[in-house]
Every structure is written in C-alpha cells, then in structure tokens.
Amino acid sequence: MKRRLVWFVMVVILLSLVFVGQNAAVAQEPKYGGVLRWRAVNDPPKLDPAMATDTSSSRNVYLMFDMLVDNDPDGKSIVPRLAESWEASPDGKTWTFHLRKGVKFHKESLGKPTENGGREVTAHDWKYSFERLVKVNSPRAYFIDMVKGYQDFVDGKADEWVGIKVVDDYTLQFELDYPFSPFLSVLAYNSFVVVPKEDAEKWGKEFNFHPVGTGAFILERWDHDQRLVYRKNPDYWKKDEAGRQLPYLDGIEIVIIPDNTIAYEEFKKGNIDVLPAPPDEYYEEIKAQYSHLLQERPELGTYYYGFNNSKPPFKDNLKLRQAFNYAVDREAINELVIHGRYYPAKGILPPGIPGYNPNLRGYEYNPEKAKQLLAEAGFPDGITVDLNVNNDPRHTLISEAIQAQLKNLGININIKVLDWGVHLDLCERGETQMFRMGWVADYADPDNFLYVLLHSENHGSKGNYSFYSNPKVDEMLAAARVETDWDKRMKLYQEAEQMIVDDAPWLFLFHYTTSLLAQDWLKNMHLPAFGDYTTPLEVVWIEK
Amino acid sequence: MAKKSRSSGLWYEAWLRFKRNKLALLGLFMAASVILIAIFASLIAPYDPVEQLIWTEGREVRLAPPSVKHWMGTDIYGRDILSRIIFGARISLQIGIFATIVSLLIGVPLGAIAGYMGGWVDDLISWLINVVFAFPFLLFVLAVIAVFQSPSLRVVYIAIGLVNWVGIARVVRAQFISLRDREFVEAAKALGLPRGKIIFKHILPNALAPVIVQATLGMGSIIMTEAGLAFLGFGAQPPTPSWGLMISEGQKYLSMGKWWWAIFPGLAIMYTVLAFNFLGDGLRDALDVRLKR
C-alpha cells in the first residue's frame, strides 16, 4: 500500500515536470492576432497629447504616440524610445538626442488616409511638435520652461523656440538656460511626443478627435462614452528581441464602463481582458479567488495629511507635529480599513522613485511617546484641530479611523468633508489647519516631490500647501536641481528628505499602489511602477 | 355646560376626526416612538455610537453580521450599527425641527405680509417665492452650503430652511388673502389697531391649521433631504451617526454581501419619513374643515 503511494507521487511529480516544461516552451513563442479589451471608467477627456493631463487620456495617448525617451518599468531609469541615444554637455546645459531612423507616422487614421501619407519622422517634426505645445497652450509646456527662448516664444517675441535646434535630420539639440538635471525624466511625460505637421495643421483644434502619431496602434473609431477602437500599426518601428514585428495584437478596445459592479462582472465573464484598479469593495474576493490574475505594486505616489506650518497651532511647534506622527497606527489602518491597498509611509518619496531611501528615520506607532510629546508641546489636556478632506469615500474612511486613533490621546479632530474645488482652494490659500492631500509623480525624479511640495518658493498653489520652509532644505533642493552628478544628486535628496521628515511638516501616511486584473490568456503583460495606465500593450499577446 | 362648549371647539373636533383615522394614529405612534428613541438614546443604545472596536477587539468585529452582541451588525470600524441608528434619530429630528423653525421664521412673516398687503409688496414676495420654487431644491441647498465653505449640522438646517420656507409662505399667503376681508378684520381695522397687531394677533391664529399641516408634512421631506446631503458628503460630518452618511459609507459593501451597514439606516429613514407623512396627512384630514363637510 505504502509503496504504491510512493509510486503514485513520483509519477505525478514526473508528469507535472513534463507539463511545466512544455508550458514554458510554449510561453516562449508569442502569438499574433486577437483584440484586447481594456476597461475605462470614463470617456478620455483629451486625445491630443499636448492637452492630456489625466490618466484616462494618457492611457490612449500611450497607444498612439511615442516620446523621445521612456521610463523603465520600475521607474528607476530612463530608456530610449524614439531617441536611440543622447548626451549632455559637461555643463549640463546642452542635450543632444540621436533619433531612431525609419520611424513612420500613421498612414491612416479613423479609416481614412492621413495627410502625411506615412512618411518618416525627422528632427524637424520634433521641433514642430515642441513648438506646437506652446502654440496650443499645452498645460504642461511649462515643464520644460528652462529650454532657452521659452518665454520669448510664449510672449510672441520670437517666431521660433530658439533653444530647440535641428542639427540634421536625425539629431535634435536642446539648449537650457541653466542645468536642469531632471530634464531627461521630464521628456518621458506623455505630452512630449512627435506629431505630423500636415495633420496637426489640417485639423487644428480638431486634432483631438483625429489624432495621428507614430505609436503601435491607430485609432479606428471613437464611439463617445462607449468605446475607442484601435487597430495595429503595421509599420510600427519596434521589433521584439527575435526581430519579430510588434505589436502582436490585431487591436485594442478601450471599453467604457462607469459602474464598478458591472465592470467586475464583465471581467468575471471574460468579456473584458483587463480591469485596471480593481474596486476596493471586491478586493477581498479578488485576493481570495483571482490572486493569480492580480498584478499589484507600489505606485509613484504619496498620501499625506499636511499641517499648516504657517499658522497656529502647528506653526513653530515641532513636538505637536511629531506627536501626531507617533499617534497614528498606519499598518492597522491600512490592513483593517482600506484592505491593505496602500503601503505605510515613513517619508515623502515613494519606493520606485530614484533616491528612495529604505533606511529613512520615520515615525513608528508609539502612543506613549505621542502623549508625552503632546504634553511637552503645551497641550497636556489635548487639543482640537480641523481636518479638511475632499469628498471621496476612501478619504473619509481613512479620516474617520485616524480621528478615532487620535481621540485616544485627547486629540479631537473635526472632519470637514469638502468638494475638491473648495478643498484645493482652501489649501492653496493656506486657510486650513490640517488637510488631506496626495501626489502622484509627473516624472520619475525626486525633484517632482521634494522641490514641488516642500521648497519655500512653491508655497500655496504651486504645491507646497503645508507652507513649510526650511532655508537649509531650500538650499539643498536648489543645489540638487542643477547638480549633474547623479550620485551626488541622490545623496542631496536623501539628506534633504531626512531633514524634512525630522521637521514633520506633514502627518506622513501612505504610498499608493497600482494594480490591475488581467485574464490568464494575456501573456507578457507587466504592470509598470508608473501606474496601470502606462502598461505597454505592444508586447502583449493572447494565448487562448 | 362647559363640556358642550369644549366639544364644539375647533381643536377638539379636529382631534375627534383624527382619532377615527387609523393611519393618522399609526403615524402619531411611529413619530412618537422616534422622538422617544431620540430623547432616551443614551439610555437605550447598547454601545457608544462612535467607538471603533476594531482597534481593541480586532477583525472579528469588523463588518460583523447581525448577532446577539450586535443586533444590527457592525461597520468596518467595528461600530455598533444599532447604536448608531438610535443616535441617528437625534440627528434626523434635530435637523427636521430646526430646519422647520427656520422655514417658519422666514415663511410665516413673508407670507402674511404678502397676503395682507397685496399690491406690489405681494408681487415682489410672490416673485421671490417663484424664483426659489423654480430652482432645483437639492441644488439650491448645495449652493447655500458651498457658500459657508464649512459643512456642519447648523449649516445644513439653515440651508434647508432658507429653501424650504417657500411652501409655508405660499400657504400663509393664501390664508391671509381669504381672511383679510372678513368682518373681524374689518372690525379690528375700524378700531384703529396697528397693522402688525392685526396681522399677527388677529389673522394669524386663524391661519394656523394649514401651517401646522404643511410643517408636519415638510418634516418628512427635510429628513430625506438631510439624508441625501449626508449621502453626498455635504451634510453631517463623520463620525456623526447620520443615517444618510451611514448609507453612503455602507453602500459600497452591499455588493460584497455586507448588507447590514446600509440597509438598516435605510429602513430607519423610511420609518421616520413614513411616520411624519402619515401624521401630516391625518392632521390635514382632521383640520381641513371644508374637506369634511
């Protein structure tokens, strides 16, 4: 009896080894064909990359357009896209990009031939595309306002953007007013793509509804509030490692389903291939039943409660601010209230951003210490503070938990739930005591967090809503902006972040995660740190 | 013959009519029960309505279904839903009563002046009433709350009152128009009484019955409005145990099968609104003499 069992186990192990081996062999070989259906919550507000600033627009822009450079999936470095290589001058003020040859614009769009006729992209197109950002008032053009001649071109004093030079057909050069180290990361933003002049000029503002780019997919149909249908670009420039033409898929459908319950049911039925950001209310069920389909990782974003450092009671009261930080049990809130969908934060920079410091000294949950600090801060009998929160179920959920935890120490929190517009306005004007805020990276560089959110130059609407200022920190952040040595820069940022965390201008809370559910017949699908909406689809294939 | 003179009094007759109306009595009973629960909330409720038990008792009390310990289950923080519903009665009634008072304070004088004076004063006030009427109710309330930039219960009942007065003003105005030319008013005028005294001392008491009906019926809709505002996030602020807020927090968990968080407060709203509607209908039937004749 025992012997037979042993035999049986051995056979099973052998068989499974054979099958695993086969599977691995099959998985190597990509398959062509098929359409991938991706769920969207709403109609994309903008398809013109110059205007796209939200994630639902970006999802579509990434399918149709290409930037010079790209973020690698882990957000740790910048990789080539339409530029094959680049170099910066020793003073950090001149950047030269060597363009990929043989990249072609879409030959057709929405079922009709395009004006450009599918011609090759040259450096002239890049110059045109960057100048177009200013001409059409792109809300993100200011990201590169350090490129020489920006202001003159904006003011109409110059008829070209002199800092952008076409050296030859395949060489593009930027001249900056001052060395700006995050420049390369900024160029990976979805507005800095190449568009064909012929089509952009023909359509003008209507280019938004007739987008033409160089990307892996071509827009075929846009049924507003229902779906966007893309089909593959047969002339796409990119090949896989084995030299096979990309993309593998015949097309993409962005299916618009506003309701979470319906979207989830459709996914379960297999009518949807990808469900980005699966809803909270199903998260526990998903973890239990579909964990093999779930991809999840830290996103480049931070969730915090800012203290108003320019007004009492938090102004000049370090111990009070620290007391709050010791009083909150981030792990328990994350686990019990928001289904473990965030990561507890020690500081400002999220994991995945260059310069992230895993050894940062933060604040652990320590109610005793909090109580002691509260007394030392001058509030032995407790204190009452207003907390402004914008109206969103998840935010109020978290705020109520924090309210209850602080209450144990005698801290009374008055929660004020406000409309986003009112909330932002009050934060910008500094008319708060304490407020909820979040920040997601525009570009993968610590500058985008530390400089924007905590440099004293940016008080108010520019991003420093907590009105924090520390001359030493200011100095370091400014120095890091122009430092061209990568390691030195990162060191500066890490030191600055530690200094800020010690000053406790915020109640540090969480880092976001990004997640998606993908059917098991989708292969080679990898969720990037930048968020579900940036997932590259040209390398995905369907194995049914 | 004191007894006989009492039996012929308007209010006594109304009570006799009211008593015969079963639905009205039911309404009275239901409304009284809500009021009693609100008054004695702290004695009845088994738990502190804002105490979050998960931090001390852990996962078992998180979204726990109805049980012997928690008759209506618990929410995600381990707060006892029954206790929150009991205390929620206070919030609903408080809003209902204070918003009604604000409506009366605005609606009664404006309606009275419009109805008594007539002419351009009536035109002006009627125009104002029509303007407020023409506006979507909830939108107007939301706009008023937005002006205050700081939601709280007080802001909510002021906002509702500022919009809700028009119904009362209309009723009062109509009463005054029909009463202003009666003999007793003529007599008061002939005696040379000041206008204010005629309006408030002589006509108003005679116009009171429909105002009471209107105000009672209004309670139901005010409680609904408060729940709607809280649901949208612009009413009572957390952790206040407002029924609308509870539905708003709990509705996402309905689809997860955790129905108790949203369903029980929904039933509580239904019960209370029905109570005041039955009561108001009964009062109207009882007080509207013309209808019964």
Q: Report ipTM for this prediction.
A: 0.79
A538 and A216 Cβ atoms separated by less than 8 Å? yes
Q: Quick one: CA dihedral A272, A277, A282, A284, positive or negative?
A: positive
Residues 6 or more apart whose CB falls under 8 angstroms from that of B2 comprise none
In tens, the pLDDT along A318-370 reads 999 999 999 999 999 998 988 889 999 999 999 888 899 999 999 999 999 99
Amino acid code (one letter) for A168? D
Mean pLDDT score of chain A: 91
The answer to whether the CB atoms of B238 and A419 lie below 8 A apart is no
Q: Which A residues, 416 through 475, put their C-beta within 8 Å of a C-beta on chain B?
A: 416-419, 422, 426
User: Pick from B50, B76, B150: which is nearest to A416 by CB?
Assistant: B150
pLDDT of residue A455: 95
In tens, the pLDDT along A213-267 reads 999 999 999 999 999 999 999 999 999 989 999 999 999 999 999 888 899 999 9
- Taking CB atoms and an 8 Å cutoff, what residues of chain A touch B150? 416
Token representation of residue A425: 């306005």
Q: Which A residues, 333 through 372, put their C-beta within 8 Å of a C-beta on chain B?
A: 336-337
Amino acid code (one letter) for A36? L
Nearest C-alpha in A relative to B231: A393
pLDDT of residue B290: 57
pLDDT of residue B3: 46
* Residues A116, A99: Cα–Cα separation, whole Å: 19
pLDDT of residue A5: 55
Nearest C-alpha in A relative to B251: A281
pLDDT of residue A440: 87
The answer to whether the CB atoms of B62 and A336 lie below 8 A apart is yes
In terms of residues, how long is chain A? 544
Question: Quick check: bond before A234 cis, omega within 30?
Answer: no
Phi-psi category of residue A469: left, alpha or beta, with phi > 0 → left and psi -120 to 50 → alpha? beta
- Taking CB atoms and an 8 Å cutoff, what residues of chain B touch A393? 248-249, 252
Per-position pLDDT tens, chain B of length 293: 344 444 457 778 888 888 888 999 999 999 999 999 999 999 999 999 999 999 888 888 999 999 999 999 999 999 999 999 999 999 999 999 999 999 999 999 999 999 999 899 999 999 999 999 888 888 888 888 888 877 788 899 999 999 999 999 999 999 999 988 888 888 988 888 888 888 888 888 888 888 999 999 999 999 999 999 888 888 888 898 999 999 988 888 887 788 999 999 999 999 999 999 999 999 988 887 554 43
Residue A385 has pLDDT above 60, yes or no: yes
Query: What share of residues in chain B are helix, strand, coil (percent, to 5)?
Result: 80, 0, 20
B164 to chain A, minimum CA–CA distance in Å? 23
In tens, the pLDDT along A44-63 reads 989 999 998 888 899 999 99
In tens, the pLDDT along A187-223 reads 999 999 999 999 999 999 999 999 999 999 999 999 9
Phi-psi category of residue A215: left, alpha or beta, with phi > 0 → left and psi -120 to 50 → alpha? beta
Closest to B248 in 3D by CA, of B271, B230, B274: B230
Q: What number of other Cβ atoms are within 10 A of residue A111's Cβ?
A: 10
- Whether B62 has its CB under 8 Å from any CB of chain A: the answer is yes
- The pLDDT-based confidence of A9 (bands split at 50, 70, 90) is low
Residue A429 has pLDDT above 80, yes or no: yes
- Taking CB atoms and an 8 Å cutoff, what residues of chain B touch A415? 237-239
- Taking CB atoms and an 8 Å cutoff, what residues of chain B touch A414? 237
Nearest C-alpha in A relative to B50: A404
Please give the model's pTM, rounded to 2 decimal places: 0.80
List helix spans (H) across A410-485: 420-428, 447-454, 471-482
- Whether B77 has its CB under 8 Å from any CB of chain A: the answer is yes
* Residues A189, A144: Cα–Cα separation, whole Å: 11
pLDDT of residue B237: 87
For the beta sheet containing A94-99, the strands, ordered from the edge strand earlier in sequence to the opposite edge, are: A83-88, A94-99, A171-175, A164-168
The DSSP element (H or E) to which A88 belongs, if any, is: strand A83-88
- Taking CB atoms and an 8 Å cutoff, what residues of chain A touch B255? 261, 281-282
The answer to whether the CB atoms of B239 and A337 lie below 8 A apart is no
pLDDT of residue A8: 59
A&B contacts, CB < 8 Å: 66
In this prediction, residues A492-512 reach a mean pLDDT of 96
Nearest C-alpha in A relative to B51: A404
The answer to whether the CB atoms of B55 and A422 lie below 8 A apart is no
Q: What number of other Cβ atoms are within 10 A of residue B116's Cβ?
A: 21
Q: What number of other Cβ atoms are within 10 A of residue A223's Cβ?
A: 10
The helix/strand count (H/E) of chain A reads as 16, 21
The answer to whether the CB atoms of B238 and A400 lie below 8 A apart is yes
Amino acid code (one letter) for A334? N
pLDDT of residue B2: 43
- Whether A265 has its CB under 8 Å from any CB of chain B: the answer is no
List helix spans (H) across B53-152: 54-57, 81-117, 119-134, 137-148
In tens, the pLDDT along A11-52 reads 555 555 444 444 444 456 899 999 999 999 889 989 999 998
In this prediction, residues A372-390 reach a mean pLDDT of 94
User: Pick from B51, B54, B232: which is nearest to A336 by CB?
Assistant: B54
pLDDT of residue A15: 54
The answer to whether the CB atoms of A285 and B256 lie below 8 A apart is yes
Percent of chain A beyond pLDDT 90? 76
* Residues B148, A237: Cα–Cα separation, whole Å: 57
- Whether A162 has its CB under 8 Å from any CB of chain B: the answer is no
pLDDT of residue A504: 96
- The pLDDT-based confidence of A289 (bands split at 50, 70, 90) is very high
User: Pick from B54, B77, B151: which is nearest to A417 by CB?
Assistant: B151
Our CA dihedral for A404, A408, A413, A415, rounded to 10 degrees, sits at 10
* Residues A479, A180: Cα–Cα separation, whole Å: 10
The answer to whether the CB atoms of A391 and B146 lie below 8 A apart is no
* Residues A190, A469: Cα–Cα separation, whole Å: 32
Per-position b or e across A4-41, b if 16+ CB within 10 A of its CB = eeeeeeeeeeeeeeeeeeeeeeeeeebeeebebbbbbe
- Taking CB atoms and an 8 Å cutoff, what residues of chain B touch A399? 238
The answer to whether the CB atoms of B59 and A336 lie below 8 A apart is yes
The answer to whether the CB atoms of A404 and B248 lie below 8 A apart is no
Which residue segments constitute the domains of chain A, with CATH numbers given? Answer: 35-273+519-542 (3.40.190.10), 298-513 (3.10.105.10)
CA geometry: angle A258, A259, A265, nearest 5 deg? 125
The answer to whether the CB atoms of A337 and B255 lie below 8 A apart is no
